[in-house]
Amino acid sequence: FNFEMPRLIEVRAGAWQRSCLVRSPTEVTLVTCCTSDRLPRLRALAEAWDGIISVAVLLPSSRFLAPRRTIAAVRAVTAEVERRGRCRLDVRLFRGPMPHPDHNSPLVPINSLRNAALAAAATELVL
């Protein structure tokens, strides 16, 4: 069995969506990642955290409508979080590998996503 994962492809270089709210370099950034089905949990996390969240979102591997729907859903979450004015949400979008023929569904490269979110964190302190 080959555990090697293809590289993630960033949808747009740098932070795809960076919060415009004021921040301090002494704050703690919460680093996380999610897939499209976990966006409601990201919204709940943003409601509970008053700091900065750096998140890497994996778009569905489909080439058609699913990525567009996910991008629209991410925009809705970021707009809602910005309106509340508490949490600063920085988002990076990635396309994952296409499903392997031997698997029923694509594997989610959690470590790669988390590392991408960590690399995007703009503060020295991270969780």
- Reported as a pLDDT band with limits 50, 70 and 90, residue 42 is very high
| Mean of the per-residue pLDDT values of the chain | 86
Flag whether 58 is in a domain.
yes
* Number of folded domains that form the chain: 1
pLDDT, average across residues 10-21: 78
pLDDT surpasses 90 at 85: yes
pLDDT surpasses 60 at 125: yes
- Smallest CA-to-CA distance from 17 within 76, 105, 95 is with 76
pLDDT, average across residues 47-69: 86
Beta bridge partners of 59: 95
* pTM (predicted TM-score): 0.85
Flag whether 2 is in a domain.
no
Which of the two residues, 54 and 61, has the higher pLDDT score?
A: 54
pLDDT surpasses 60 at 4: no
Flag whether 76 is in a domain.
yes
Asked whether the beta carbons of 57 and 34 are under 8 A apart, the reply is yes
- Reported as a pLDDT band with limits 50, 70 and 90, residue 17 is confident
Flag whether 77 is in a domain.
yes
Confidence (pLDDT) at 16: 82
Confidence (pLDDT) at 65: 64
DSSP state for residue 17 in the 8-state scheme: B
Flag whether 67 is in a domain.
yes
d(CA 48, CA 93): 22
Residue numbers of the domain that contains 116: 9-97+104-126
